[in-house]
Homo-oligomer: A and B are copies of this chain.
Amino acid sequence: MILCRTIAELKNELIKIKQSSNDPTIGLVPTMGFLHEGHASLMRQSVAENTASVLSIFVNPMQFGPNEDFERYPRDEERDLAIAKENGIDIVFMPEVKEMYPVKPRTSVIVSQLTERLCGASRPGHFDGVGLVVSKLFHLVQPDRAYFGMKDAQQIAVIQQMTDDLNFPVEIIPCPIVREPDGLALSSRNVYLTAENRQQAVVLSQSLALAKQWANEPGITSEELVSRVKAKINEAGQAEIDYVEWLIYPSLEQPSWNEPIELEESKYILALAVKFGSTRLIDNTLFVPNVVAEVKDHV
């Protein structure tokens, strides 16, 4: 495994890969580090599907708001490199901020509509930062496939839209959410949780699992479903709901609010963001026509 801290080093290594094999394919796993089993599952899928796999580790300041946790975002280089190596990564690209942004960029990559709800509404500018850094990484690595976890379902929708609109020659591969045994979605931010927060946070996946049942009740409306999920989350005394939304996926349009839910009509997402203390967690689950039972097992 090769560690590249500069763009020049990365380019060098990529040239070697292109020369070493006939028509090699490259997989990219873009991360902000502090890797967990969710990231590891992306790495393994990339390694299985490509000639060579690049893991990028970059805590991208452009996707953090001024009052967000950029400075205190958890970092552990040594552990990350060990996990990357264990999972068969060929190249780790781990640049400094100055390497990615030698000067303040004047170019923005902005995806409209899809970014107006969910985390886009709660975190203004967040997806502009994501669009910028993903564009940069796609151009630097020139991957055939890029792997993203479905925990950030809106991020995948935004990146897929950007990829389609701009004709990026990259296949976006969404990968399933990986969870703790009790259901909590893995997240680098879980380390912030106090013991009590951690215990209470299980309410998130529990509420999604309940929603899977509720959504099948004849005549239930979007409003009723969201309201029950909120009530369930609020049973956890430390939970402070940022949003709970029921939307069509991946367009992220709002279905009719007071009409019965038509599970066979569209693909839906139930997505939530909830703070426990100062730690904001997100989770979601998809409702796919005809395969509701199958998807239910994920939560």
Residue in chain B with minimal CB distance to A7: B167
- Give min CB distance, A111 to chain B, whole Å: 5
Residue in chain B with minimal CB distance to A139: B167
Establish whether residues A106 and B139, one from each chain, have CB atoms under 8 Å apart when the complex forms: no
- Interface presence of A292 (CB below 8 A): no
Mark each residue of chain A from 213 to 239: 1 if its CB lies under 8 Å from any CB of chain B, else 0. Answer: 000000000000000000000000000
Contact of A108 among B105, B110, B135 (CB under 8 A): B110
Interface-side segment among A72-80, A143-151, A158-166: A158-166
Contacts of A132 in B (CB 8 A): 165-166
Within 8 A of B (CB), among A74-113: 105-113
Copies in the complex: 2
Establish whether residues A136 and B167, one from each chain, have CB atoms under 8 Å apart when the complex forms: yes
Residue in chain B with minimal CB distance to A131: B107
Establish whether residues B106 and A109, one from each chain, have CB atoms under 8 Å apart when the complex forms: no
Contacts of A131 in B (CB 8 A): 107
- Interface presence of A24 (CB below 8 A): no
Contact of A113 among B106, B139, B168 (CB under 8 A): B106
Establish whether residues B112 and A161, one from each chain, have CB atoms under 8 Å apart when the complex forms: no
- Give min CB distance, A106 to chain B, whole Å: 5
- Interface presence of A60 (CB below 8 A): no
Contact of A111 among B107, B111, B114, B162 (CB under 8 A): B107
Bound CA span A161–B107, Å: 7
- Give min CB distance, A244 to chain B, whole Å: 24
- Interface presence of A142 (CB below 8 A): yes
Q: Apart from A107-B165, A139-B166, A140-B167, what are 8 other A-B pairs with CB-CB below 8 Å?
A: A105-B165, A107-B111, A108-B109, A108-B110, A108-B112, A109-B109, A135-B166, A139-B169
Give the 8 A-B CB pairs with smallest separation, nearest first: A107-B165, A105-B165, A139-B167, A108-B110, A136-B167, A135-B166, A107-B162, A106-B112
Residue contacts A-B, CB under 8 angstroms, 19 given = A105-B165, A105-B166, A106-B111, A107-B109, A107-B110, A107-B111, A107-B131, A107-B161, A107-B162, A108-B109, A108-B111, A132-B165, A132-B166, A135-B166, A135-B167, A136-B166, A139-B166, A139-B168, A140-B169
